Amino acid sequence: MVRLLSNDEIEEHFEVAEYLPIAEEMYRRMGVGEAAAAPTETVVSQVSEPPADSSPPVFHGLRTAGGSIKGMDVSAVRLNSDLKHWPERGGTQRQERIPITDGRYNGLVLLFSTETGELLLLFPDGVVQTFHVAGGIAVGAKHLARDDASVLGMYGCGHQAEAHLPALATACDLKEAKVYSPTRESREAFAAKMDEKLDLSVRAVDDPKDVCVGADIVNCATNSTEPVFDPSWVEPGTHIGSIRPAEFPTNIFEREEFDQVVITKSEQRSVDITGDTISGHREEHHNVSDAWRFFVMDSDPLSPKLQSLPAERQPVDDVTVSRLPNVVTGTDEGRTSDEEITVLRQVGHGIAFAAIGHALHRLAEDEDLGSEIPTSLLTQDRVP
C-alpha cells in the first residue's frame, strides 16, 4: 500500500525543528558522497490569456526536482505545475503564484524506496517546502555564524520566514529578532505572532537598515526580485543567509569584507552522453545558480524571473567558495574568526524532499497517519 499524507496532517505532527537533525544528516551524507541530487528543471511558457485578476505577463512553469540518499534508502521527485506573475507590492516587484481552481495550488512529492523501487509515500509540498529551505539556512547558520550569535535580522515576513525564524532559533541561541518587510501591517503582524510563539523577543523595524545594525545573523527570506539590503549596512562578524540570488546586491561579491561564501549544493559525479561517447566527471560549477535549469519556447519572451538571471549569476572568484555538505563534514573550513563576514546561498535541490519524505514515512507508519492507496492503482503490469 502507498500512504497519502495531507498538509494538515504534516503540520499537526511534524515541526521544522524536528527536521533540522535530518537536514544536517542529509548534508553530511552529501559531503561523503552518499547522496545525489538532480538539477531543478523548469519548462517555462507564456500564458496567452492571463487570469482576470493577474498582473501580466503570466507564465506557466512545469518544474521537477529530485534526489537519492544512500543509508536512508529513499529517493524523491517533486513536481509542480503553476502559474506565476510579478505584481508590485509595497513599491517592490514580487514573484507570486496564481492559484488554480478553488484557490488551490499544485505541488506533489513522490517518495520511493531505492531498495525495492516501490512508491512509499505521496505528500503535498506546501508545508515541507518551507522546511527544506529553512533547514539549509539553519544548518548553515549553525556552522557559519559566531558561537555567541544571539541577534537575528530578518528580511521577509511571509511563509518562508515563518519557518526560518523558528529554525534559526533552534539552531542558534537567539535572544532577539528584528524583522522587516515593505508593508507595515505585514511586518507588525508577523512580529507579534512570532513573539508570542517563540521564546525570544521579536519586533518589527520600520527602516530596512535597522535589520543589519547590531545583528549577528542577517537572513533574507523574501520573494523580492530586487536587492533588499545595502552591503555597507553589514557589520563585521555577521553571518548572512539568503534563499534567492535577487535578494543580494549585485556587487556583494566585489567586497573583500565578505570572507567566506558557502553554497548548499554538493559536488557530485555526473555522466555526459553525447552521441556514442560517455564521459564521467565531477562537477566544478562555482556559480550559485547552476543547480537550476530553464527551458523556454523560442516563440515566447523571457519571464521577469529569467530576465533577472544574468545579473543574479554573479562571479565569485574573489572570495572563498565552499559547499555546505563539506563544511558539515569538516572537509571545507567554515568560519575562522569572529570578524569574518560569512554568506550562505541556499540553492534549492530536490534531495531535501527525500530526507523529509524519509522522516514523514517513518512518522506515518509509527502513528498510522494518512490514507492508504492500493499499490496496484499506481503501478502497471507493462514494462515501461
What is the bridge-based pairing of β-strands 239-242 and 258-263? unpaired
Which pLDDT does position 303 carry in this prediction? 86
Residue 303 lies in a domain: no
pLDDT tens-digit map of 106-163: 999 999 999 999 999 999 999 999 999 999 999 999 999 999 999 999 999 999 999 9
- Do 25 and 79 belong together in one domain? yes
Do 241 and 322 fall within a single domain? yes
Output the average pLDDT for the chain: 86
- Give the pLDDT of residue 286: 38
Whether 54 is covered by a domain: the verdict is yes
With cut-offs at 50, 70 and 90, classify the pLDDT of residue 273. very low
141 and 98 both lie in a single domain: no
186 and 324 in a common domain:
yes
Same domain, 94 and 164: no
Per-residue pLDDT reduced to its tens digit, 37-48: 888 889 999 999
Which residues have C-beta within 8 Å of that of residue 313, sequence separation ≥ 6? 245, 287, 288, 289
The residue that leads in pLDDT, 256 or 81, is 81
Establish if 144 belongs to a structural domain. yes
Q: How far is CA 49 from CA 52, 55, 56, 256, 363, in A?
A: 9, 12, 9, 48, 43
How many Å apart are CA 354 and CA 73, to the nearest integer? 9
Residue at 134 is within a domain: yes
Average pLDDT over residues 195-204: 95
Q: Is 79 contained in some domain?
A: yes
Residue 253, pLDDT score: 56
* pLDDT confidence band for 92 (50 / 70 / 90): confident
Q: Reply yes or no on whether the pLDDT at 164 is more than 80.
A: yes
pLDDT of residue 280: 43
Q: Are residues 149 and 117 both part of a single domain?
A: no
More confidently predicted of 248 and 143: 143
* 290 belongs to a structural domain: no
* CATH number of the domain bearing residue 140: 3.40.50.720
Q: Residue 113: what pLDDT?
A: 97
Asked if residue 89 has pLDDT above 70, the reply is yes
Task: Identify the CATH number of the domain in which residue 26 sits.
Answer: 3.30.1780.10
Determine, yes or no, domain membership for 147.
yes
Per-residue pLDDT reduced to its tens digit, 340-363: 999 888 877 789 999 999 999 999
Judgement on whether residues 277 and 136 belong to the same structural domain of the protein? yes
C-alpha distances (whole Å) from 248 to each of 214, 266, 311, 349 are 19, 22, 10, 20
Q: Is residue 60 part of a domain?
A: yes
Q: Does 27 share its domain with 110?
A: yes
Domain span at 14: 2-128+351-377
**Residue 91 pLDDT > 80:** no
Looking at the structure of the chain, the number of domains it has is 2
Using 50, 70 and 90 to split pLDDT, how confident is the model at 296?
confident
Instruction: Looking at the structure, tell me whether residues 44 and 157 fall in a common domain.
Output: no
User: Residues 15, 106: one domain?
Assistant: yes
Q: Which residues contact 128 (CB under 8 A, 6 or more apart)?
A: 10, 14, 109, 353, 356, 360
